[in-house]
């Protein structure tokens, strides 16, 4: 698939922008610099793919702002070989960023059309993530436990199943809150206890239940 020099140039500028906004993790920065975001957005919006903003996907969903992707990924402290579960595949962009970090990525998406599109695209680009169509509030028990879990949709309470599927010493990052903005929250599982640290405010689409799709 094409990655024209023009897009490469725009991507370099995007990388500089997210660095200037405070993203310092070099592995995360390098991953953002490698993923061709223009292939993950709606073709009609391709010219905007390297602006630092969220863009609409089908079914009323959105591909997160690149800065938000970088911020969440940085908080997750992913190392090569980690098993990472993502809830909300959407376009597959964040999934690709996690693959670039050398993680073994599992991702669940509720919207069938998004799941199908992301699956085809990630395969075409050579990303070997495992994708599943279903309700991510139940995690993916077959492959649990996970070293890292990332929610890319907002919830007022992180589903218990996800904490259960987090490994000892694992980190879970989620935008938490029911209002129009959520607090990015980092949970760490230490023994049987969970520590919790609140970061900045963000705005995400809601984590839905299958009945209210
Ligand atoms: N990570 C995505 C951003 C997706 S937006 C990207 O990089 O493009 C959040 C996604 O979560 C949407 O695609 C939405 O359909 C999905 N979602 C909402 N509720 C869900 C649930 N219960 N289980 C799995 N996915 C869900």
Q: How far is the CA of 41 from the centre of ligand 1 (A)?
A: 14
Query: How confident is the prediction along the chain (213 residues), in pLDDT tens digits per residue?
Result: 678 889 999 999 999 999 999 999 999 999 999 999 999 999 999 999 999 999 999 888 999 999 999 999 999 999 999 999 999 999 999 999 999 999 999 999 999 999 999 999 999 999 999 999 999 999 999 999 999 999 999 999 999 999 999 999 999 999 999 888 999 999 999 988 999 999 999 999 999 987 654
Per-residue pLDDT tens over the stretch 28-79: 999 999 999 999 999 999 999 999 999 999 888 999 999 999 999 999 999 9
Mutation choice for ligand 1 from 53, 95, 109, CB with most ligand atoms inside 8 A: 109
Q: What is the CATH number of the domain that holds 104?
A: 3.40.50.150
Q: Which amino acids bring their CB within 6 angstroms of ligand 1? A: 61-64, 87-88, 90-91, 93-94, 108-111, 114, 135-137, 152-153, 205, 207-208
Q: How far is the CA of 116 from the centre of ligand 1 (A)?
A: 13
Note if 31 is an active site residue.
Answer: no
Nearest atom, ligand 1, residue 208 CA: 19
Could you tell me if 158 and 182 are in contact, meaning their C-beta atoms sit under 8 angstroms apart?
A: no
Please name the residue ranges forming H helices in 51-156: 66-76, 93-100, 112-124
Residue 110 DSSP code: S
Nearest atom, ligand 1, residue 93 CA: 7
The structural domain count of the chain equals: 1
Q: Where are the beta strands (DSSP E) in 26-181?
A: 55-56, 62-63, 83-87, 104-109, 130-133, 146-151, 166-176
Q: What are phi and psi of 118, to 5 degrees?
A: -65, -40
Q: How far is the CA of 174 from the centre of ligand 1 (A)?
A: 12
Q: What are phi and psi of 50, to 5 degrees?
A: -105, 15
Nearest atom, ligand 1, residue 86 CA: 1
Q: What share of the chain is helix, strand, coil (3-state, %, to 5)?
A: 40, 25, 35
Query: Which residue's alpha carbon is at the smallest distance from atom 17 of ligand 1?
Result: 88
Task: Quote the domain boundaries for residue 18.
Answer: 5-212
C-alpha closest to that of 210 among 91, 89, 63, 109: 109
Could you tell me if 133 and 109 are in contact, meaning their C-beta atoms sit under 8 angstroms apart?
A: yes
Across the chain, what does the average pLDDT equal?
95
| 23 vs 121: CA distance, rounded Å | 27
Q: How far is the CA of 47 from the centre of ligand 1 (A)?
A: 23
| 100 vs 106: CA distance, rounded Å | 14
| Catalytic member of 20, 31, 64, 195 | 64
């Amino acid at each position: 698939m094409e990655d024209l020099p023009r897009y490469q140039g725009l991507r370099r500028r995007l990388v500089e922008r997210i660095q200037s906004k405070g993203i310092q993790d070099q592995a995360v920065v390098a991953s953002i610099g490698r993923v061709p975001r223009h292939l993950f957005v709606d073709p009609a919006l391709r010219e905007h793919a390297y602006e630092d903003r969220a863009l609409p996907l089908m079914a009323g969903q959105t591909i997160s702002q690149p800065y938000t992707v970088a911020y969440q990924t940085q908080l997750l402290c992913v190392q090569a070989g980690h098993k990472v579960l993502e809830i909300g595949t959407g376009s597959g962009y964040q999934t690709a960023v996690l693959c670039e970090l050398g993680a073994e990525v599992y991702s669940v998406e509720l919207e069938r059309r998004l799941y199908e599109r992301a699956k085809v695209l990630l395969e075409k680009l050579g990303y070997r993530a495992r994708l599943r169509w279903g309700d991510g509030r139940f995690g993916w028990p077959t492959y649990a436990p996970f070293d890292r879990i990332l929610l890319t949709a907002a919830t007022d309470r992180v589903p218990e199943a996800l904490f259960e599927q987090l490994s000892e010493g694992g980190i879970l990052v989620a935008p938490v809150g029911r209002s129009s903005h959520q607090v990015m929250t980092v949970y760490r599982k230490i023994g049987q206890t969970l520590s919790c640290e609140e970061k900045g405010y963000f705005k995400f689409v809601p984590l839905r239940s299958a009945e209210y799709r």
